[in-house]
């Protein structure tokens, strides 16, 4: 059981990579972190690793692509804590990294959207009562530079050299989801932003990135910890606001 007086954070897809790095950094800042993982074995391993470091970490089994799983996870967490102060929608997949847009199957696009787009929507909706109970919650959606139409069409940007249909469009749509939730939830003191971690070495890209997961996690942690004067409805990277 998490300490009842501690601030609580849930990070989806947190058993490895950027998600685990975000969880570790938030826990090091004194938050009780809930490792959202669809595989309880891998999630449990991640929790034990953090606990062994003296951090306040707990497992929450959740598959963001499964509506029933998300509802069960929200119900479970509501029996454990009274409020959720930080939600990081980090879980994500890419299925068309090496496939031309004209050859990507609709099935692959739908599967990508279930995790990258519908996942953050259903998780945010399901955990909203706990987020509202916090009074000043922060929601951070893990985006991508590929989610910026400005960057993917700018020939001087590294992101213009990547042309994925399902992944890119899911991240573009996620930015619109961020804006929609930010508008609705601002009166409740809840700030909602998208972050872009940079080109991080993770399983998602076959560990071909140039940044470490810790470096990629930094902007998500920063936006999770912003004060009441911080932004909402924005898109941010480590070097500042990103263009839509």
Phi/psi of residue 88, each to 5°?
-115, 110
To the query of whether residue 171 is one of the catalytic residues in this protein, the response is yes
Catalytic residue, chosen from 16, 110, 159, 171, is: 171
Catalytic residue, chosen from 113, 159, 167, 191, is: 167
To the query of whether residue 167 is one of the catalytic residues in this protein, the response is yes
* Dihedral angle sign, alpha carbons of residues 130, 136, 139, 140: negative
Phi/psi of residue 22, each to 5°?
-65, -45
Q: To 10 degrees, what angle do helices 166-185 and 106-116 make?
A: 30
| Cα distance between residue 189 and residue 182, in whole Å | 10
C-beta separation of 97 from 155 below 8 A:
no
Question: E-assigned strands of the chain?
Answer: 8-12, 32-37, 57-61, 86-89, 138-142, 191-195, 235-237, 240-241
C-beta separation of 160 from 153 below 8 A:
yes
Q: Which residues belong to the active site?
A: 167, 171
């Amino acid at each position: 059981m998490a300490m009842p007086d501690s601030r609580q954070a849930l990070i989806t897809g947190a058993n490895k990579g950027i998600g685990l790095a975000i969880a570790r950094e938030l826990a090091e800042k004194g938050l009780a972190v809930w490792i959202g993982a669809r595989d309880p074995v891998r999630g449990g391993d991640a929790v034990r690793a953090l606990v062994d470091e003296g951090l306040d970490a707990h497992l929450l089994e959740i598959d963001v692509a499964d509506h029933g799983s998300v509802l069960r996870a929200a119900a479970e967490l509501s029996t454990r804590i009274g409020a959720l102060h930080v939600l990081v929608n980090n879980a994500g997949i890419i299925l068309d990294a090496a496939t031309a847009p004209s050859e990507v199957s609709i099935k692959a696009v739908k599967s990508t959207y279930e995790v990258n787009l519908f996942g953050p929507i259903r998780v945010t909706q399901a955990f909203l009562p706990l987020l509202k109970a916090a009074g000043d919650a922060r929601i951070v959606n893990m985006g991508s530079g590929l989610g910026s139409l400005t960057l993917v069409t700018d020939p001087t940007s590294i992101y213009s050299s990547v042309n994925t249909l399902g992944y890119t469009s899911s991240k573009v749509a996620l930015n619109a989801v961020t804006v929609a939730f930010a508008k609705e939830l601002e009166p409740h003191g809840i700030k909602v932003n998208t972050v872009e971690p940079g080109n991080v070495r993770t399983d998602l890209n076959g560990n071909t990135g140039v940044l470490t997961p810790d470096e990629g996690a930094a902007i998500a942690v920063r936006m999770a910890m912003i004060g009441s004067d911080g932004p909402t409805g924005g898109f941010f990277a480590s070097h500042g606001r990103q263009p839509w």
